[in-house]
Structure formats: C-alpha cells, structure tokens
Structure 1
Amino acid sequence: MRKPVVGTAMGLGAALLLTAGMTTASATPPTPPAARAAVQHPVLVDCLWHQRFRPTDFLLACGDGNSILTGMHWTKWNDDTAVGQGVNVVNDCKPYCAAGKFHKYPVTVRLDRPTAWTKHPNVQHFTRMNLTYSDARPEGYTQVMSYPMWN
C-alpha cells in the first residue's frame, strides 16, 4: 500500500519542479532593444566574465577587492575608446590588507585596444585600461597606471 503514496509524492514533486522551472523561464523579461543595441560597442569584461557597458562601478582587484572604480560617469564610449571619470577606492593594506583603510582618489579612466573576446568571438571588448589620477594617488602608483584587461 505504500508504493502508490511514494509514487504519488514523487509525481507531485516532479510536477512542482517542472512548474517552477517553467514559471522562472517565463518570468524572465526579454532584453530591451536599447540594451541589445548598446552591446554592439565594445564592452568591459568584469571579474565574473560578464559584459559591462558604461558601468557605474567596476572591481579592479578581483582576488581581494582592494581596488574598485565607483561613481563612474562616461563621457565617451564608441568602437575605439571609452572615457569616463570616477573615483578609485583603494585599500592601503597598512599594516596588512585586512586591517587597512580605503582611500578615495579622483581618476579619469580610458579604455582602448578593442579586440574580439575569446569567450564570445563575436563580441568586441576593451583590452587596456588607463587610470589617470588628477591629484593624489595611492602610494607606489604613477600618475598614469595602465592595466591589461582579461580575455
């Protein structure tokens, strides 16, 4: 007599999972046309391998989170280059990173050298980032810092 109860319970469980899966898929809104059009320009690839277009925040130190761009305002973003202003928030790691303090530095960000992204060859992504500090800068940094972006 227990076999029908177990079979019914398993059947109901499978039906619930199928319904939840269908509901989740149908509840996901389609990508708006404006967002699809925006991706046609080169993108910035973040630490989680997501395409970012004109991000307001961008993590530079993926491993430990000790450097991030915040409050970004982009004045230019085209097929060759992107330029924006924001703040680079950097941990001084004194006496060590877990006990360090974060400091804010105004910065101009320039992205360039777009190329096909290895993960998605039909998507162009910027491969170099230049940070130009307008005044103060983190200890050990030069006025202009250049970083290759991951591919």
Structure 2
Amino acid sequence: MRRHTARTTVGLCAAALLAAVMGTASAAPPGAQAVKQQPAASVLVDCFWHPDVRPADFILACGDGNSRLVSLHWSQWLQDAATAEGVNVVNDCEPYCAAGRFHPYPVIVRLDHPQPWKKHPELRHYTRMTLVYTDARPDGYKQVVSYPLWN
C-alpha cells in the first residue's frame, strides 16, 4: 500500500507541475516574444576616458582644468539626451591662468547626439554638450555655447 501511495503522490505532483507549466505557456498569446530590455542610457566620457552617468562634476578644459561644471543636478538622463542644472566655474586667467581666479556662472547643461563610443562600441556616448548661461557669463562667451565631446 505504501508503494502505491508513494507512486500515486509522485504521479500527481508530476501531473500538477506539467499542468502548471502548460497553463503558463498557453496563457501567452501565440508568437509572443519576451519583452526586450531597454537599451542602457548613454554615457558621458570624461577626460580620463571613463564613462559616467549623472556625474556631479565634469571637467570641460581637460588640458588645464580652467573650466569645469560643478554641482550638477540631473533632471533627465535618457538614451538620446540628458539635462542638468549646475555651475560652470571658469578661470579668468588674469594676469595669467596660474594666478587667475575662478568665477561661478549658473548654467543649464544639455547632452545629446549619442553615438557608439570608439573605445567601447557597445556603449553609446553623448557627442555634444550645450551650455545655456542663465545669468552672467564669462567674457567673450555667448549665452548658448555648444561643444563637441571627444570620442
């Protein structure tokens, strides 16, 4: 009797498992595919060739560090574009850069034009940065300035 009970129990469990699997499979419409994962957001490549997402600061003048973005607060970071508010800190280089003073200028930062990154083609990186000065701006700068970003 025990042998018959054990065999019946195993048989019932196997049938229940098969029914559960078949029920799940038949619940999906014919030809349905798994949901594709959204592509990762694009990255911002820094002066040291490191990819970054939503950085708090970013050096614009890689050679001497005389222009950088600080206190970045990102309101959007998508695959095609990113937007932040922050401060562009720029050296006035008077009388020369080593003796100059840094001045803060509030900006809105926009990143766009993502392309595959040559160093890591599986990653897309933003290739253009646009700064919009919301108040004062450095001498000689326009209110809206766009920069190509390195690849």
- Which TM-score applies when normalising by structure 1? 0.74
- Residue identity matched to 2:98: A
Aligned to 2:141: 141
Segments of structure 2 that go 5 or more residues without pairing to the other structure are 1-36
Superposed CA deviations along residues 73-125 of structure 1, whole A, max 9, x for unmatched, are: 00011011000000000000011101110000000000000000000000000
Equivalent residues in 2 for 1:18-33, closer than 5 Å:
none
Structure number, greater radius of gyration:
2
SS at match of 1:98: helix
Q: How many residues end up aligned between the 2 structures?
A: 114
How many angstroms does 1:45 deviate by? 0.1
Runs in 1 of length 4+ with deviation above 4 angstroms? Answer: none
Unaligned runs of 5+ in 1: 1-36
Secondary structure in structure 2 of the residue aligned to 1:72: strand
For 1:60 and 1:52, the matched residues in 2 are separated by 14
| Whole-angstrom distance in 1 between the partners of 2:67 and 2:45 | 16
Equivalent AA in structure 1 for residue 99 of structure 2: A
Q: After superposition, where does 1:125-140 map in structure 2 within 5 Å?
A: 125-140=125-140
What is the 5 A alignment of 1:33-112? 40-112=40-112
| Residue 135 (structure 1) shift | 1.0
* 1:12 counterpart residue number: none
1:42 positional shift: 0.3
CA–CA separation in structure 2 for the residues paired with 1:66 and 1:53: 23
Report the alpha carbon displacement of residue 40 of structure 1 after superposing the two structures with TM. Answer: 1.6
- Percent of matched pairs sharing the same residue: 63
Name the SS for the 2:73 alignment partner.
strand
Q: Specify the SS of the correspondent of 2:98.
A: helix
What is the CA distance between 1:130 and its match in structure 2? 0.1
Amino acid at match of 1:90: V
Q: When the two structures are superposed, what TM-score results if normalisation uses the length of structure 2?
A: 0.74
